[in-house]
A = this chain, B = another copy of it.
Amino acid sequence: MNPTQWFTEKVPEAESAFSLKFKQKLHEEQSDYQFIEIYETEGFGNLMVIDGCTMLSTRDNFFYHEMMSHPVLYTHADPKRIWIIGGGDCGTLKEVLKHPSVEQAVQIDIDERVTRLSEIYFPELCESNHDPRAALKFIDGIKWVKEAKPNSVDIIIVDSTDPVGPAEGLFSEAFYRDCYNCLSENGMVVQQSESPLYHMKLISEMRKAMSAASFGHLQTLFFPQCLYPSGWWSTTIAGKVDLTHFREQDSANKSFDTAYYNVDIHKASLAQPEFFKKAFASK
């Protein structure tokens, strides 16, 4: 392959790599926090890359954004106040605001440049940025959560990069404890938990840290995500209350469009592969 035509992300933990052919590099910049690149690819629309890792593409971001939003919102009995920590591309915000119960959705990403570039290169994800229920803050999400008052929020969605660089603190017991403290009594936090094929150690550590932070109920969900290492991804929900049931009827009657999510997919995402079940059998 001619490397001048291909963007390649290497995945050291699997000694694998995923590449997309591009027509042109549309933009690159070093923000205050990270190195951001935007490519126009041949097959995946536009592609955002942060510090060398693929973040999202026009073609396949719907899996991730829908699965970060709809399962946890339909698991909560009455989600009104939502915070998105990270999520600067605004795709999660857009999905969250599809829920009529939501009264306030605050996106807190430390790097304003991610949002400004998303407005240019992924305008379809930013369609709801001016919804009167939406607020965009460009500050440190860890500090925001630490300083928040009890009962400030119903659901915290941690839509972050991998646990290196600015996002590292988002994968810690201290952060989950701060989440616990500002969530309402039946509150939930959901976080992307990487690949079940490559990152079982991370999933295990995340679950332990969430439990140690007093969350009594955990649920890991599985879904395809072509662009991310292994093509298979997960999110983990930590709840103060039982997560066994979700608002199935509401999900079945959802009033908005999706590309991947529906009530059957919600149930399916909860199915634990045999190796996963065995790994957590005694935990």
B-binding residues in A (CB < 8 A): 1, 3, 6, 8, 10, 13-21, 41-44, 60, 197, 222, 224-226, 230-232, 257-262, 264-265, 267-275, 277
Contacts and interface: CB of A to CB of B under 8 A. Distances in A.
Nearest to A196: B224
A258 B278 CA distance: 11
A273 to B, nearest CB: 5
B8 A16 contact: no
A19 B20 contact: no
Given A16-B20, A43-B15, A224-B197, A267 B260 contact: no
Nearest to A275: B259
Contact of A8 (B1, B269, B274): B1
Contact of A264 (B6, B230, B257, B272): B272
A275 B59 CA distance: 13
24 contacts: A1-B10, A1-B17, A8-B17, A15-B21, A15-B42, A15-B43, A16-B21, A16-B43, A224-B230, A224-B232, A225-B231, A226-B230, A231-B231, A231-B232, A260-B275, A261-B274, A262-B271, A262-B272, A262-B274, A264-B272, A265-B272, A265-B273, A267-B267, A267-B268
